[in-house]
Structure 1
Amino acid sequence: MKYPFIALWLIIIGVSLSAAAPAATGIFHPFAHDCATTDNVPAGKPAVYLISSSSQYDESIIDEIETVFSRQGYAVDSRYLDQHPTPLGYVNTDDIRAATLIKALTDDNVKYLWFVRGGSGALNLYPYLYRSRNKIAASSPKVLIGFSDVTVLHHFINNVIKWPSVHGILASYNREMYDVRKEEQVSMYSSISQIFRTVANGMTYTGIEPLNLPAFAGGQGIVNGGNLTLMQSLFSTRYEKSYADKVLLMEDTGVTYKQLDRTLHQLEYMKTFRPKAVIFGQFYPIVADKKERDLYRYVLQDFARRVDFPVYYYPEFGHGKTNQPFILGQRMTIQCNKHYRYCSLTQPPINAASSA
């Protein structure tokens, strides 16, 4: 080498810069370790509060959930996770689960309340919540996020407290968690970031299939619903609400097509069931072949032929690999065109003036 001293000097300077760069603000270093922690959460982003009010969950996943959310720029607060499983497999007794949920719902520091999992048992909490409705309503609005057994909690929040909420992925089942664990396929194609985009910007979905003639007219209504089994559990109870102005989402899992057919006949026979529209999501098992999927679609199509309100099919939400978010308690507009096979639906952001 012609200039050995200069080369040695450059090597020394390069090593010094390499060692300093990761700690220096604004200096790019390609080999610095990108470690996601709550320390680097951008200012202005509210924390995500985890909660679980139904079946017991695997406690080992909480650290992974915190890591996944921190990579999205959100701190995670787990103070409302209180698990001492009961003989029925709920996270805790009814009164303790209710007290924990009410405490979270009345905490003015909470903006996002994200459920770790569903399962069963949330219906038991409704009387406790209803007795505390005035206290909850006086608190700052929260965005509840989840689906499945969370449906009854959405129902309370949307129809009694009048807050919008998000029917969407659970904190433990989503694309980011699947990338980490490679286990549960539910919601494996649906991302945490999509929830925040939906809250901030609203959403538009295409590919909504009209199943009967009234559906081609489109329409508007306030979105409610979720898991059909949980919706059915509120029928003819003192907590059931009017369906007159509602666009109802319906999905389910673990229900055979014959059981689904029976439930839909029950809906047809109900005197009070007159919604603005029904949008069916996924009912078939996640591993179903085409023949099985077609059987479920046949049941839905047959129901649509028998009723005179709009019925649509959009198997992109529910217990499948894709679980598109919807804003419950928020207005939806459905638009169709006679020249096209499919319709579209739109919802404004969660803080828009049109929310219920």
Structure 2
Amino acid sequence: MQRRRLIKSLMAAPLMAAAGTSALGASAEAAEEAGFSADNSGKDLLRPRRLQKGMTVGLVTPASNAWEDEDIRFASDVVRSLGFKVKEGENLYRRSQYLAGPDAARAQDFNAMFADAEVDAVFCLRGGYGTPRILPMLDYAGIRRNPKVLLGYSDITALLNAIYHRSGVVTFHGPIAAQNFTDYTYSEYQKVLAHGERPVPLGAPPPFEDAAPGRVEKENRITRFAGGRARGRLIGGNLTLMASLLGTPYCPDYRGKILFLEDVGEAPYRVDRMLTQMWLAGKLQQVAGIAFGKFTEADSDGNTFSMEHVLRERCADLGVPVVRGLMFGHVKDQTVVPVGAMAELDGDAGTLVLRDQVVV
């Protein structure tokens, strides 16, 4: 489901019940009491266990659900094809319009997977919309006590960054369960989550296929907006979700970080608006570098700046390395980007290299 359509649905959706709002506030206070806030040193960072065949993966739907139950069963089969056993969340098949069931039910499944000693990792079925609604309901202290691989992207961005910020656990921006893993995606997944390789390049474009001799391909090229080299811990994911976290207790610290961003279905002017919001909030001025992935389905009426123009104008003069075109976003070929891990961005070479140990 595209984000533009979801926003239209939101306009017509009923407001949260008063009892639910009270529970939300109480949970927010509990989250504040957890008190952990990840800094740039990484001294208190927790790395989950590397993935090995035979492990049990908990399958959850913290945002929207698939349209049909068969799509959920397909996701379970995908996880099994990777060599894992599957434990489905108690509320995995629930639906409530654009949400995968009530907020409390989705949060319950999520917390239960981290508390369950039989579950080794947690994969998200899909994104869509809904994770910001459950952030105050998560057991951040419990997640820190039981660090596990958390994998997903798009709307899952809010979970990835909030958990890194509030629990100090490395999380992973990567493929959802309800998708086929291409050869490229599987290779990237293996080197980060199974093999724990380092140093290792993240999101380098795959080699061109079936290109005639001397032919120059446009697809998956790297654009270098600003040169230089920088190191910092990775934060980011979907631009819309990162903008939605600003001003909340779940927004990660941007100081000295490598910020990675992607989006789907957002016209250049809307990307401009969100990047401007980050700039006005002083966040873009704090980062050590910016790595843009893919901005797909960015339809416009033609009376617009190009996406390249928007990204360059807002970020090229920040005095940090900035590149565009790495393989993360709403695309078939995806890398896995560990949120919280130390990385090096080279604006001249157009590379993002993981320098940190992210699984143990």
Equivalent in 61, 79, 84 of residue 69 of structure 1:
79
Question: Do residues 346 (structure 1) and 354 (structure 2) align?
Answer: yes
CA distance change for structure 1 residues 306 and 334 in 2, over 3 Å: closer, same or farther? closer
Report if aligned partners of 1:224, 1:246 keep a CA contact under 8 Å in 2: yes
- Counterpart of 1:195 in structure 2 is 189
CA distance change for structure 1 residues 79 and 241 in 2, over 3 Å: closer, same or farther? closer
Deviation per CA, 1:68-96, whole angstroms, max 9, x where unpaired? 3333322222244533222x421111111
Give the deviation of 1:225 after TM superposition.
0.9
Task: Report the AA paired with residue 159 of structure 1.
Answer: H
Equivalent in 113, 119, 124 of residue 115 of structure 1:
124
Report if aligned partners of 1:143, 1:165 keep a CA contact under 8 Å in 2: yes
Task: Report the AA paired with residue 242 of structure 2.
Answer: M
Deviation per CA, 1:6-41, whole angstroms, max 9, x where unpaired? xxxxxxxxxxxxxxxxxxxxxxxxxxxxxxxxxxxx
Report if aligned partners of 1:209, 1:343 keep a CA contact under 8 Å in 2: no
Q: After TM superposition, what 4+ stretches of structure 1 lie above 6 angstroms from structure 2?
A: 291-294
1:148-167 equivalences in 2 (<5 Å): 148-167=154-173
Q: 1:349 & 1:160 partners in 2: Cα distance?
A: 20
| Number of residues of Structure 1 aligned to a counterpart in Structure 2 | 286
1:55-204 equivalences in 2 (<5 Å): 55-57=64-66, 58-86=68-96, 88-129=97-138, 132-138=139-145, 140-175=146-181, 190-192=184-186, 194-199=188-193, 200-202=195-197, 203-204=200-201
Report if aligned partners of 1:225, 1:250 keep a CA contact under 8 Å in 2: yes
Deviation per CA, 1:183-213, whole angstroms, max 9, x where unpaired? xxxxx6653453233112333144654312x
Q: 2:103 & 2:129 partners in 1: Cα distance?
A: 12
- Counterpart of 2:340 in structure 1 is 329
Name the % identity.
Answer: 24
Give the deviation of 1:134 after TM superposition.
2.1
Give the deviation of 1:284 after TM superposition.
2.9
- Counterpart of 1:283 in structure 2 is 295
Give the deviation of 1:323 after TM superposition.
1.9
1:235-314 equivalences in 2 (<5 Å): 235-273=246-284, 274-285=286-297, 295-314=306-325
Q: 2:245 & 2:112 partners in 1: Cα distance?
A: 24
Deviation per CA, 1:258-283, whole angstroms, max 9, x where unpaired? 11122222222223441111111111
Report if aligned partners of 2:257, 2:287 keep a CA contact under 8 Å in 1: yes
Q: 2:93 & 2:297 partners in 1: Cα distance?
A: 29
Give the deviation of 1:298 after TM superposition.
1.9
Question: Do residues 225 (structure 1) and 236 (structure 2) align?
Answer: yes
Q: 2:131 & 2:188 partners in 1: Cα distance?
A: 25
Q: 2:353 & 2:129 partners in 1: Cα distance?
A: 30
Structure possessing the higher relative contact order (Cα contacts under 8 Å, 6 or more residues apart): 2
Unaligned runs of 5+ in 2: 1-51, 206-221
Q: 2:329 & 2:230 partners in 1: Cα distance?
A: 23
Give the deviation of 1:292 after TM superposition.
11
Unaligned runs of 5+ in 1: 1-42, 176-187
Bigger radius of gyration among the two: 1
